[in-house]
């Protein structure tokens, strides 16, 4: 059974968001990393780039597939987890901690209402 932390928000595309003030940290869910299997490479967004909700944030490549990651919210890229260059396996081992992918400066907090809470995400994935 996949881990679904209750304090996070989720998308139907299996990204998670952790909001702290005006910043939002983003990664892929435990469910997504299980589906992908062993992650071998993560492509990050460009620092400073303005993303709209739903735009491609980056790419996760595994031994099984290449998957795009979509921005769950609009905002400016203010951080990327460069440690994943050396340790892409962190996306599998700790998807909600060391395996985070990027951080945005949130543009419109109202977009948060469209994200799923943990119960809705569990229902979506059948967990």
Strands 102-106, 75-80: pairing kind: antiparallel
* Average pLDDT of span 99-103: 98
pLDDT on residue 127:
76
* Token pair of 114 as six digits: 């469209």
- Kindly tell me if the per-residue pLDDT of 71 is higher than 90: yes
Contact between residue 42 and residue 101 where contact means Cβ atoms under 8 Å apart: yes
Domains, the chain, with CATH or none:
9-105 (2.40.50.100)
> What is the pLDDT at residue 61?
96
Task: Give the per-residue pLDDT at 92.
Answer: 96
Dihedrals φ, ψ of 96, to 5°? -100, 0
pLDDT at 20: 93
């Amino acid at each position: 059974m996949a881990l679904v932390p209750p304090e996070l928000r989720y998308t139907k595309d299996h990204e998670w968001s952790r909001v702290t003030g005006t910043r939002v940290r983003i990664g892929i869910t435990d469910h997504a990393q299980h589906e992908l299997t062993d992650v071998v490479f993560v492509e990050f967004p460009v620092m400073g780039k303005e993303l709209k909700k739903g735009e491609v944030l980056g790419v996760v490549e595994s031994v099984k597939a290449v998957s795009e990651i979509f921005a769950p919210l609009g905002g400016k890229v203010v951080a990327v987890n460069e440690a994943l260059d050396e340790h892409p396996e962190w996306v599998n081992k700790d998807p909600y901690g060391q395996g985070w992918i990027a951080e945005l400066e949130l543009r419109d907090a109202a977009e948060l209402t469209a994200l799923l809470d943990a119960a809705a995400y569990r229902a979506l994935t059948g967990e």
